Amino acid sequence: MAQPLAERLRPKTLDEYIGQKHLVGPNAVLRKMIDSGRISSFILWGPPGVGKTTLAQIIANKLETPFYSLSAVTSGVKDVRDVIERAQSNRFFSQSSPILFIDEIHRFSKSQQDSLLGAVEKGIVTLIGATTENPSFEVIRPLLSRSQLYVLKSLEKDDLLELLQRAITTDVILKERKIELKETTALLRFSGGDARKLLNILELVVESESEDKVIITDAMVTERLQENPLAYDKDGEMHYDIISAFIKSIRGSDPDGAIYWLARMVEGGEDPAFIARRLVISAAEDIGLANPNALLLANACFDGLMKIGWPEGRILLAEATVYLATSPKSNSAYMSIDNAVAAVRETGNLPVPLHLRNSPTKLMKQLGYGQDYKYAHSYEGNFVQQQYLPDELKDRHFWEAQNNPAENSIKERMNKLWKK
């Protein structure tokens, strides 16, 4: 039986590798490291199907070093220790450390990650981890501090079109068929920037045609996928589409829609921690200051989920989901940090006003650091008017209250204090 198209087209060299030019293009950081012949441990963070596993294999081939691979889904502490022992024995026959690639490293428990730490510290193995989740949440700090973090991006339209052309012109099976890519919008839309999914869809569509000549259109792709949706999504769930619908239902104050999409994720086997993290983000981004208790409840949901686990954890997720969906909404905090970041990028590193500077030494005091600073608690109502922004931005406003009871109250108090 022939390998799947995605496996047949897996790149063997960096020159064949598509996308991620910020990491492996000319003079890019990873390219330089690979060309030097020595690499340090690193973690690749990015969405599915953008080339994390492929990149690790290319690096191992280029460096001609032993390559061990583990999946965090199926491997335990014993598997990790066995690989480390084998790597240690191989270390004597190789100049560079063997590479240990761990796919979905975010699914490793703390004890599994602890079992890796010593080998990484001593250089017994060079760790390459791959994750679709933010490593800050899922990878223990000692391991994270000993690894570089590289972020992979979803493939761009041009990258995906290049991949399609390569598939129909170079693949040993597809090049024998007369394939015309008359329309590609549906192929690209259903793939969602996932190269593996794109090739799976292409293979499905081509195999469904009995004629040698295959003219691919948007209508044909849509029809074939409706007939066989599992063929292009391993878990039968449109992971990113469903989480998007979930968050947008919360933002749109529709508890029925939100709880339905939550149920889809629960039934689809979604990682509960992934859902809980999105609830925490939504509580700050979409509910915000209109109901600050939403963030407290979302955090309590996350903590409770970690303590009680599954399946009861779904009840905590449901409570938080309904609470967030039915809360008043405000994105004023989210907008304020975006506004402030834009100002920083526009104006650069403006000097801190002298009266706000720290003055731990005599020289700094002589230079005026901290001079004329007014200590708010020494004044009536624990407030006194003074300038807190750099001179160039002293009249700028980054936070603007939105029209809801909680923020109207905040706005009224701020206006009274600042006499606006």
Residues 161 and 142 reside in one and the same domain: no
> Is the per-residue pLDDT at 303 higher than 60?
yes
Is-contact 219 251, C-beta < 8 A?
A: no
Residue ranges making up the domain that contains 96? 20-151
What is the reported pTM? 0.59
CATH number at residue 300: 1.20.272.10
All residues at 6 or more sequence positions from 294 whose CB lies less than 8 Å from its CB, including other chains:
283, 287, 288, 323, 324, 327
CA distance 60 to 40: 12
The reply to whether 37 falls in a domain is: yes
Query: Is the same domain home to 133 and 94?
Result: yes
Binned at pLDDT 50, 70 and 90, residue 277 comes out as very high
Radius of gyration of the chain from its Cα atoms, rounded to whole angstroms: 27
Choose between 229 and 212: higher pLDDT.
212
Residues 28 and 105 both lie in one domain: yes
Give pLDDT tens digits for 124-158: 888 898 988 888 777 888 888 888 888 888 888 88
Q: Is 225 part of any domain?
A: yes
Intra-chain end-to-end CA distance of the chain, in Å:
75
Whether 338 maps to a domain, the answer reads no
Do residues 124 and 24 both lie within one domain? yes
DSSP letter (8 states) at residue 230: G
**Residue finishing a domain among 232, 267, 284:** 232
Residues 24 and 142 in one domain: yes
Report pLDDT digits (tens) over 93-119: 556 678 888 888 888 878 888 888 888
Residue from 157, 139, 164, 163 nearest 149 by CA: 139
Q: How far apart are CA 206 and CA 302, in angstroms?
A: 45
Listed ranges 77-91, 159-173, 246-260, 378-392; the one with the highest mean pLDDT: 246-260
SS3 assignment for 20-59: CHHHHCCCCHHHHHHHHCCCCCEEEECCCCCCHHHHHHHH
Residues 26 and 147 in one domain: yes
pLDDT at 292 over 90: yes
SS3 70: strand
Question: What distances in angstroms separate CA 2 from CA 5, 8, 35, 174, 232, one per listed residue?
Answer: 9, 9, 34, 12, 18
Q: Please tell me the total count of domains within the chain.
A: 4
